[in-house]
Structure 1
Amino acid sequence: MQWYGVRCVFRHLALGVYEERVTLWTARSFDEAIVRAETEAREYCEVLEDVEYVELAQAFLLDEVPGEGVEVFSLMRESELPRGEYVRRFFATGDERTG
């Protein structure tokens, strides 16, 4: 068994926002980790009102056991954008809810 971080995306209909959650799982493969995370994602939606799972799950294999400072998720994306534009387009659009 290995540790995986799985990012799932949700839509909060009443709030008009999308949420990205990264959860940790022990599994034998990427597929098993995603199945487990998607099962939890659907359960998460059942206990909240007006939240839907948008059917996007991305998994990351951890190189070590989770603990302080251990990387739990990473995603690489090819882009020709300069760093400021890249951040504005994908991470800091101005529509994020932080805090």
Structure 2
Amino acid sequence: MAAADVAHEKSWYAVRCVFQWDAWEGTPYEERLTLWQAVSMDEAIARAEGEARTYARENGHRYLELAHCYRLATTAGRPDDGDEVFSLLRDSPLDEEAYLDHYFDTGHEHQGTTTEG
């Protein structure tokens, strides 16, 4: 495959956008991942942000203009079971318990439950 063809080959990208639900009590924040097939990270972000603005407008939320993008390692076909769809590395001086409490387990998360049958 020629270099010019590789430059236009599509890859899968996961884009995380952040919203605030102003109409809900407590005005919670939402981190939402969407999946895009695009030729570049810039294209994936642009498409995701367009969709994010529509999602926010249609649902009465505010898009906070923050998008993180991750290129999936696999590009052959569609993503499959077990494929990594997002990764973010963050430096922090916090120990593991404080880190998890600060970023992921504040006690204010709105999470569903699962039942095993």
Which category of TM-score, normalised to the shorter sequence, fits these structures?
Answer: over 0.9
CA-to-partner distance for each residue in 1:22-52, whole Å, 9 max, x for gaps?
Answer: 0000111111110000000011012112x01
Aligned residue number for residue 21 of structure 2: 12
Q: Which one of 83, 91, 95 corresponds to residue 82 of structure 1? A: 95
Distance in 1 (CA, whole Å) between partners of 2:83 and 2:69 is 15
Q: Report how many residues are paired.
A: 98
RCO higher in structure (CA 8 A, sep ≥6): 1
Aligned residue number for residue 7 of structure 2: none
Query: How is 1:1-99 mapped onto 2 (pairs within 5 angstroms)?
Result: 1-15=10-24, 16-49=27-60, 51-64=61-74, 65-99=78-112
Q: Give the SS at the match of 1:66.
A: coil
Consecutive unaligned residues of structure 1, counting only runs of 5 or more, are none
For the aligned residues, what is the CA RMSD? 0.8
Runs of 4+ in structure 1 off by over 4 angstroms are none
Consecutive unaligned residues of structure 2, counting only runs of 5 or more, are 1-9, 113-117
Distance in 2 (CA, whole Å) between partners of 1:28 and 1:2 is 6
Q: Give the SS at the match of 2:57.
A: helix
Identity among equivalent pairs (%): 50
Distance in 2 (CA, whole Å) between partners of 1:12 and 1:82 is 31
The two structures have a TM-score, normalised by structure 2, of: 0.81
Higher-Rg member (1/2): 2
The two structures have a TM-score, normalised by structure 1, of: 0.95
Amino acid at match of 1:53: Y
Q: Give the SS at the match of 2:79.
A: coil
